[in-house]
Structure formats: C-alpha cells, structure tokens
Chains A and B, each alone.
Chain A
Amino acid sequence: MAEAAPSLTTEESLVLADLKKNLTHGTNLNDKNAVAMPVAAMNALLGVVQRSSANTMMGLQDELKEASQEILDWNSREGNRSNIALASGCELFLRYSTRTFLELTEFKECRAAILERGQRFAGISLAARDKIARAGHGFIRDGQIVLTHGWSRVVAALLLKAAETKHFSLYILEGRPDASGAKAAEYYSKAGIPTTVILDSAMGYVMESVDSVFIGAEGVVENGGIVNKIGTYALSICARAHDKPVYVAAESYKFARLYPLNQKDLPPTKSVSLKFIDTTTEDNTFIKMPPEIKVDHSPGDYTPAKFITLLFTDLGVLTPSAVSDELIRLYQ
C-alpha cells in the first residue's frame, strides 16, 4: 500500500486511512468477501459525513467532493485501473445521499438522514454482487460453453452461482498483458467448472463453438456501452458476427456520465509499458525493441451499445438503452 502524500491535512489523511481500512482486498483473488474499491470509497465517504462540521448542505457536499477527489487522485497514483467506476461510484453516492431534503429545515436532522441514506447506498452496493448473480445465472444452461475475458468479481460470482446447479464449461482468454485470465483459470477450476485457457487472438477461432459471452465492466456509459479491459470490443464484434449473445455484469454504481463517440473519446489513462516474449521457445528473454519503435497500449476500450445484448445489474436485467433512462432518473 502506498503512503499518502506528505503535505496532507489531518482530515484528508483520515479519509485515506478509512479507505485503506475498508479495502480488504489486495491481490487476493480468492477472498470471496473482497470489497470493491468503489464500495470501500463509499464507506470512507460515510466517515467524512460523520466527522463533518459543516452547517449547510452545500458545505457538506463540498467536503464530500474534496474527499472524492482525494480518493481518485490516490487511486490514479497507485496505478490501479477502474478509475471510471470509482469516479461514478463516488458521484452517485454524493447525489443519492444529499438528494433534496427540503422538508427538513434543521441541518442536524438532514445529517442523520444523509448518513442513513449513505449507509443504505453502501449496503446496496455491497449486496449488488449477489443480486446480479441471482439475476444472471439463469441465462446459462446445462451443457453450454461460456466465454469470458478479464477478471471481474461480479462475473465470477455469477458463474459460481450457475455452477451450483448446472454443468457448463468455460473458455477464458489469457488476458495480455496482465495475464488476468490465466490467473483466474485456477479459481474457476477449483470451483468445479471445466476451464480452457486460450490466446486472446483465438477468440474468433472458438466463437463458433461458444454459446454465450459473459464479461464485466469497468464503467457503463450513458449510451449503454461499456468500458472494459482491452480486447472486449473485438470480442463483442466477433460475438455479434456469430450471433452469440454478449452479457455484461455490472453494479449500478458503475453507471458513469460519459458519452464516448469513439475509442479516442475516453478519459485519458496512465500508459503502461509492454514487454514481448516468444513463449514457443525455451529462450525466456524479452525481445529488445529499438527506441525508435513506438509501443502503443491502451489498457481499456469502449464497446458500443449495439454489440451488447443485456446488462445484469442490481437494478435488474436491463437492455443497453435502459441505462440512460436510469441515469436520467438518478441524476435528476
């Protein structure tokens, strides 16, 4: 865990301390109770509300915004992905908690009500994973072959729930450059699901044998599209070409107020360096790249709504066009 920046005030470092306390997950994939970053952030923000000395709604909102920004800055310093989900989660928490309390004239009463709503929102988000698993597992049937990409705890919960009652097998894309798929394969295999790991570039080759594609999302954007690990866009196009359904499992706090028009229209991400290795030979040295060769890598890509069949969320099973309706209601 990184240290907080040296020149912090007492209040700011309290927020981060709370956040780190709430994050029980590091790289421990197998912890089923692992808390997602946005949920941990929401609990940290609850602490801000409890400790707040503001006397007006606007004052409290400002404090919450500052704390959110601090959490976001810390997250991007850490180099973690899923900044979109974190930003949208904090924003939604803010809006949900501080929704108009015009009937309550006393701010102290407001504060108690905000705290209660905030706790409810954090609770909903924590329980979201189970709700999604219950909503989505019925879409897998006996004898099917499911393809997945990237590591998502929501998708994992869904697949494990399906495995309790059905027999199906799983194809996982290896997930370069962080080998997330290869790392997750052991997890699924231990849970009793027959698992096959394939190269990312083999997604077209296997698509005809596959029955459905299940993926998670780092963020769900306003037009119903998703932002996810690089390769998701290609996978969806491939699935569409073969008429296979693409199902996305995402909590509702991941709904972000972004409207990307194309791949370049996404928020900028920290660039990651790539290393290349020929794994077919015994020689395990990395390939040397001359400096004039540019290596371009974006960790995420944007999949437009028309390639997505359904979204499993804690608000229910939604079509992509319903995402914007929900966002309008949430942000009104």
Chain B
Amino acid sequence: KDTHAFSSWNKPIVQVLCIATMEESSTLDVSGSPVEKKTKKEKPSNLVIPPKKPKLTKAERRAQQEHQRAAKAQRQTQQANTSGGKAQGQEENSPSTVSNNSQGQNQASATAPIPKADVKTVTDGKNDPKEISVLSHLPPFRDPKDYPDQLLGVQLQSFSVKEKLHPEILKTGRAYATGKLCHGNPRCRAMLKSMDAAIQDHVPDDDVDNKKDYRHEWLNKVLKPSFQFFTEDCRPHSVGMGNAFTFLKSAIGALDRDMELQKAKGLLSESIDAYIQERIDYADLAIAKHASEKIVDGDVILTYGNSEAVRAVLVEAAKTKQFRVIVCDARPLLTGKDLLLELRQSNNLDCTYIYLNALSFVMKDVTKVFLGADALMSDGSVFGLLGTACVALAAQSVPVLVCSETYKISNRVQLEAITNNELGNPAHVLEGPLGDNLRVIALTYDLTPASFVSGIITEMGILPPTSVAVLSMEMNPQQ
C-alpha cells in the first residue's frame, strides 16, 4: 500500500512521459527522420518487466489526482485531530512520510526529543488551526520548559548532534534557549569564547601514524557540531554569529598543519580575542567617536530598544555635549528599560521613556534618531529588532542614523521581513488558553528599507546605505 503522498501524486504524469519517450525514440533519430528498427538484444532471463500501466486520458488522470488529493487532505485532518498524542496505528508501519517525522521519532525513543520543524510541502492552513501558512517556513517556537532534561544539563548530550559537547558549549546553548543571552553582541562573544574553551580542552584521539590533521578534528569534531547544536537545538544564529563562525573556520584553515598543538591552540585563542576586541569592542568605540561628532548641544535623540553601539554613542557624547534622550520601548521584550537604567544611573542623562504607541506624540521634539541593528543587508536595508522600521518610518522628517559594527554585514539581500525571521514565544504576546480559531504571531525582527535610513555609522565612518555592499567587500575580502 502506497501512502507516500508525494510520489503517488506524481506517478501518473511520470508514467505517461515514459511511455511517450519510449514510443518516439524507437522510430526517430535526432534529426527527426525515421530509421530502421534495430534488432533487440537478448534480455537477461531474470529481468522482471512490470506490466505497463494503461495510458490514461487527461480527464481520467485528473480524476485520479483529485481522488488522491482528497484522500490526503482527509488524512491530514485526522492527524491534526490526534496530534500531540501517540501516533495512529496506520502511521506506525509507514516509511518516513514527509510530514510525520516527529511522530515517528516519538515512537522510537523513550524520552521526548526536541521536535524538528514540520516541513509541509503542501500547506493548507485551514486544516491545521495552529499553523499560519505564510510563516510556515520558519521553525516554530520551542519553549525550553518543554524539554528540560536536555537543556538543564541533566542529559549531557544533544539529539541533533552525535559528538559529545563541551560543558561550556552546553551552558552557552542553554543561555541562548532560555533567553538569558539575547542580544547580538553578547551572543556572538559568548559563542566565540565557548568555542575557544572547547578547542583548548580538546584532546585529540591517539594518532599513531600522525595521519590526522588537527584542524579537521577541530572543525568536524568540535566546532561544527557545536554550531549545529546552537542553531538547531537552542536558537537560530544571528548574522553576526554566522560571520564570526566563518572567520573562525578561516582562522583555523590558516594555521600550519605541522604546527605543534599547544602553539596552534594559543594562536587560535589570540585570533579569537583579537576578533572580539577589534570587530566588536573597539568597533563600538569607533562608532561612538564618529557618531558623537554628529550630536550637538540641545539635541533631542530618539532611540529604540537597547543597542550596545547606540549606548556607546550616547555615553561618549554625554561627556562633552548637552542633550536629552527619548528611549522608545516595546513589548514583549522591553529591552529599553536596561538602556534607560544605564543612562540614568551611570551617566545622569536627561531621559524620557515611552512605549511605541506614544511615538507620534514625541516626534515633533525629536532632532535625531539613533537605531541599532542586528544585521545590515547588502542593499542597505537594516534588519533589526521588531519595531525599528516603525520608528524609522515615523522619523522621516529628521536624520535617522543606524549604528552597527561591520561584522554584522550580510552578503544576502532580503526583500521583506518574513523570508528570514524568528518566531518568538506566543505566550509573551497573548497569554492564557487560546480558542481553536485564534493564532498568535510573535516575530522577533523586522526590515527597515534603505530609503528610510539617512546614514549608517560603522567603525569605518558614516556611509550611505547604498555603500554597504562595497564596505563588505573591503572588510571581508575572503568572503
């Protein structure tokens, strides 16, 4: 019995094509003129030729497809109704169907593994009340409370990765998944530091013949599994983390194969520290220097959320200029509160705190806007915290400056906010039991078009959004 939905849907068409080509190829050569039929070779005796399926007319084929589609839809509703519980009897014997991976695995292992993203090829939102079709390409949000064993360190292993992971890696992964480490820069630093620790403590297997390259060991046994663990089990990585990982791979590749192991470890550690220092810490200082030249006495600066780069700018400018700050914030994360506390307590800046809905009320007083970014796309659009685009749009009458380090430049272009985003915890948006017809979307990022941005402040200076691609080529020649 064939329950593989995909192939059964395709079969009649494939069959018909085969028949057509077989008929034509026997009588025509390439130029289209008929040739004599060649004598058939002797076929081996054990060859079993399945009987030819009857050639269906177009109407008959269509009827067959509709029948199969209806049957499949019916199966999907049955699955949706019984999802969460044990798999139905009819699914147990099926080979891995595309839409039932997690259920199959449920049967196989005793403890619940982290459910993989359901990749449905034919998505029909009407049948699954919990799924939103336009966001179905994004991995669904997994509440860390649902799989405590793995993340709280009781089980020192991950399910998506075979190799044993270093405790620092597990600890960092846990911090990612629970949201303890949530902004771009801290996540990247933690990733690099934990990978450094894992490399330092790595003891290679006995290699009597000296055939193994320690660099391959590090990449394949330590780093790639760790990165996969971070991305698939904990939280999808940010653009900056991806660029840092690429740097790490190329730094390892640049090490000498014959170098003594301890020396290589030391060199790599230095490279990692240099990257963090130059591309993140010093970059923030340079950004602060460039940007504070643009702030004049009497300015009213609007900022959104809590960006390390913007914080550095305001702290630096506060040393020499008199201005006030409006901190705009939004649910559910309310990251602006941390920025507000820091500005008030450490720098005694004159601050106002608003939610996003009060933005148009304060906008008439604002003279400049400083925003942070999670990633810079190649066409100059800015990928940032959800709500950044709103602020940029509302502030079109004043200069809108985005502060970002260059390690966050992505060589991709995104046309809108949904193709690559992250789903957050729906409970943060709306708590309590939801009815069958209510779906909650909690997105994490949004995309600000390049035309809304007056200038991007990086450690290389202030540049227009259209020049991000050129800067990326200059800064990362190996990519």
* Chain A residues at the B interface, C-beta cutoff of 8 Å: 222-224, 257, 259, 261-262, 264-265, 305, 321, 324-325, 328-329, 332
Contacts and interface: CB of A to CB of B under 8 A. Distances in A.
A264 B335 CA distance: 33
Nearest to A258: B462
Given A222-B462, A222-B464, A305-B464, A324 B454 contact: no
Interface in B444-460: 454-455, 460
Nearest to B368: A261
Closest 3 CB pairs of A and B: A321-B466, A261-B399, A324-B467
B267 interface: no
A329 B460 CA distance: 12
28 contacts: A222-B461, A222-B463, A222-B464, A223-B454, A223-B455, A223-B463, A223-B464, A259-B455, A259-B461, A259-B463, A261-B294, A261-B368, A261-B454, A261-B455, A262-B399, A264-B296, A265-B294, A321-B464, A321-B467, A324-B463, A324-B464, A324-B466, A324-B467, A324-B470, A325-B466, A325-B470, A328-B467, A329-B474
B461 to A, nearest CB: 7
Contact of B463 (A262, A305, A328, A332): A328
Please classify how large the interface on chain B is, using the bins under 10, 10 to 19, 20 to 34, 35 or more: 10 to 19
Interface in B15-32: none
Contacts of B471: 328
Contact of B474 (A223, A262, A305, A328): A328
Contacts of B368: 261
Contacts of A264: 296
Given A223-B455, A332-B474, A259 B467 contact: no
A151 to B, nearest CB: 29
A75 B153 CA distance: 71
Contact of A328 (B399, B454, B470): B470
B461 A257 contact: yes
A225 to B, nearest CB: 9
Contacts of B467: 321, 324-325, 328
Q: Give the residue among B399, B401, B463, B466 with the most A Cβ atoms within 10 A.
A: B466
Interface string B80-117: 00000000000000000000000000000000000000
Interface of B: 294, 296, 368, 399, 401, 454-455, 460-464, 466-467, 470-471, 474
A3 B111 CA distance: 91
Contacts of A261: 294, 368, 399, 401, 454-455
A173 B202 CA distance: 76
Contacts of A321: 464, 466-467
A198 B467 CA distance: 39
Q: Give the residue among B294, B368, B470, B471 with the most A Cβ atoms within 10 A.
A: B470
Contacts of B474: 328-329, 332
Contacts of A265: 294
A223 B471 CA distance: 14
A267 to B, nearest CB: 12
A97 B296 CA distance: 35
Q: Give the residue among B294, B368, B463, B467 with the most A Cβ atoms within 10 A.
A: B467
Contacts of B296: 264
Contacts of B399: 261-262
Given A321-B466, A328-B460, 6 more contacts: A222-B462, A224-B464, A257-B461, A259-B294, A259-B463, A262-B399
B137 to A, nearest CB: 32
Contacts of B455: 223, 259, 261
Contacts of B462: 222, 259
Contacts of B454: 223, 261
A324 B462 CA distance: 10
Nearest to B457: A259
Contacts of B466: 321, 324-325
Contacts of A222: 461-464
Nearest to A331: B461
A325 B470 CA distance: 6
Nearest to A223: B464
Nearest to B401: A261
A291 B474 CA distance: 56
A261 B454 CA distance: 8
B71 to A, nearest CB: 56
Nearest to A322: B466
A321 B460 CA distance: 17
Nearest to B465: A321
Nearest to A304: B454
A264 B462 CA distance: 17
Contacts of A257: 461
A259 B455 CA distance: 8
